Structure 1
Amino acid sequence: MKAFNTFDAKLRLNLLVLFTAGLLFWSSLSLLLPTLPLYIDDVGASKQEIGIVMGSFAIGLLLSRPMLGRLADERGRKSVLLIGTIVAAIAPFGYLATQSLGLLILVRIFHGISVAAFTTGYSALVADLAPAETRGEIIGYMTLATPLGLAIGPALGGYLEATSGYGILFLFSAELGFVALLGIIQVTNPPVQTREQTEADDVYDGLRLRNFWQVLASPRVRVPTIVMLLVGLSVGAVHTFVSLFLKSTDVDFNGGLFFTAAAIASFSIRVFAGKASDRFGRGLFITFGIFCYVFALILLWQANSAMFFLLAAIAEGAGGGTLISMMITMMADRSQPQERGQIFAICIAGLDLGIAIAAPLLGIIAEGVGYRDMFGYGAAMTSVALVLFLTHSSKNLSNSFRFALGLAPDAYALKNLKVRTDEI
Structure 2
Amino acid sequence: MNVFSTLEPKRRRSLLLLFIAGLCFWSSTSSLLPTLPLYIQALGGTNQQVGLVMGAFAIGLLPSRFGLGPLADAKSRKLVLFIGTTAVMFAPLGYLLATSIPTMAVIRAFHGISIAAFTIGYSALVADISPVNRRGEVIGYMSLVTPVGMAIGPAFGGFVQAWMGYKFLFLSAATFGLLAGLGISQVWEPTRPKPPLENMAFTPSTPKLRLNKLFHYFKLMGSPPLRTPAFVMAIVGLIFGSLVSFLPLYIAASNLELNAGLFYSTAAIASFSSRIFVGRASDRYGRGIFITIALVFYLVSMLLLGTADNIPEILFAAAIEGSAAGILIPTVITLVTDRCSPDERGRFFSLCVGGFDIGIALAGPLFGWVAEQVGYSNMYLLDAGLALLGLIIFITQSSRNIPDSIKFALGKAEDIYIFKS
TM-score where L is the length of structure 1: 0.94
Contact 1:75–1:192 at 8 Å: present in 2 too? Answer: no
1:192 to partner: Cα distance:
3.9
Report the equivalent of 1:100.
100
Contact 2:74–2:195 at 8 Å: present in 1 too? Answer: no
Contact 2:192–2:342 at 8 Å: present in 1 too? Answer: no
Q: Amino acid of the residue matched to residue 248 of structure 2?
A: S
The size of the alignment, in residue pairs, is: 406
Corresponding position: 1:59 with 2:64: no
Cα distance in 2 between the residues matched to 1:101 and 1:211: 38
Provide Cα deviations, 1:301-324, integer angstroms capped at 9, x if missing partner: 101011111111001101111111
Provide Cα deviations, 1:13-57, integer angstroms capped at 9, x if missing partner: 111001100000000000000100010011111111100000110
Cα distance in 1 between the residues matched to 2:415 and 2:298: 23
Report the equivalent of 1:244.
249
Report the equivalent of 2:361.
356
Provide Cα deviations, 1:206-231, integer angstroms capped at 9, x if missing partner: xx997232111211011111111111
Corresponding position: 1:225 with 2:236: no
Provide Cα deviations, 1:338-375, integer angstroms capped at 9, x if missing partner: 01100000000000100110111011000011111111
Provide Cα deviations, 1:187-241, integer angstroms capped at 9, x if missing partner: 1122243248xxxxxxxxxxx9972321112110111111111111111111111
Corresponding position: 1:268 with 2:277: no
Cα distance in 2 between the residues matched to 1:102 and 1:135: 44
Cα distance in 2 between the residues matched to 1:210 and 1:14: 35
Partner-residue secondary structure (3-state), 2:244? helix
Tell me which of 306, 310, 316 is aligned to 1:305: 310
Contact 2:161–2:169 at 8 Å: present in 1 too? Answer: yes
Cα distance in 1 between the residues matched to 2:402 and 2:214: 25
Report the equivalent of 2:124.
124
Contact 1:140–1:273 at 8 Å: present in 2 too? Answer: yes
Q: Amino acid of the residue matched to residue 341 of structure 2?
A: Q
1:130 to partner: Cα distance:
1.0
Cα distance in 2 between the residues matched to 1:298 and 1:212: 37
Report the equivalent of 1:111.
111
CA shift in 2, pair 1:306/1:66, >3 Å:
same
Report the equivalent of 1:173.
173
Report the equivalent of 2:414.
409
TM-score where L is the length of structure 2: 0.94
Corresponding position: 1:378 with 2:388: no
Corresponding position: 1:15 with 2:15: yes
Provide Cα deviations, 1:269-309, integer angstroms capped at 9, x if missing partner: 00001000000000111111112112111111101011111
Q: Amino acid of the residue matched to residue 377 of structure 1?
A: L
Q: Amino acid of the residue matched to residue 279 of structure 2?
A: G
Alignment of 1:81-230 (within 5 A): 81-195=81-195, 211-230=216-235
Partner-residue secondary structure (3-state), 1:211? helix
Corresponding position: 1:253 with 2:258: yes
Partner-residue secondary structure (3-state), 1:93? helix
Cα distance in 2 between the residues matched to 1:122 and 1:394: 28
Tell me which of 376, 383, 389 is aligned to 2:394: 389
Provide Cα deviations, 1:106-145, integer angstroms capped at 9, x if missing partner: 1000000000000000000111111221011000000111
Q: Amino acid of the residue matched to residue 307 of structure 1?
A: P
Moved over 3 A (4+): none
Contact 1:78–1:189 at 8 Å: present in 2 too? Answer: yes
Q: Amino acid of the residue matched to residue 412 of structure 1?
A: Y
Cα distance in 2 between the residues matched to 1:250 and 1:194: 57
Contact 1:76–1:192 at 8 Å: present in 2 too? Answer: no
Partner-residue secondary structure (3-state), 1:190? coil
Cα distance in 2 between the residues matched to 1:232 and 1:11: 32
Q: Amino acid of the residue matched to residue 272 of structure 1?
A: F
Partner-residue secondary structure (3-state), 2:343? helix
Corresponding position: 1:36 with 2:41: no
Query: Which structure 1 segments of 5+ residues have no match?
Result: 197-207, 419-424
The alignment yields a C-alpha RMSD, in angstroms, of: 1.5
Q: Amino acid of the residue matched to residue 150 of structure 2?
A: L
Cα distance in 2 between the residues matched to 1:384 and 1:209: 30
1:252 to partner: Cα distance:
2.2
Cα distance in 2 between the residues matched to 1:42 and 1:355: 23
Provide Cα deviations, 1:155-187, integer angstroms capped at 9, x if missing partner: 000000100010000000000000100001111
Cα distance in 1 between the residues matched to 2:225 and 2:214: 11
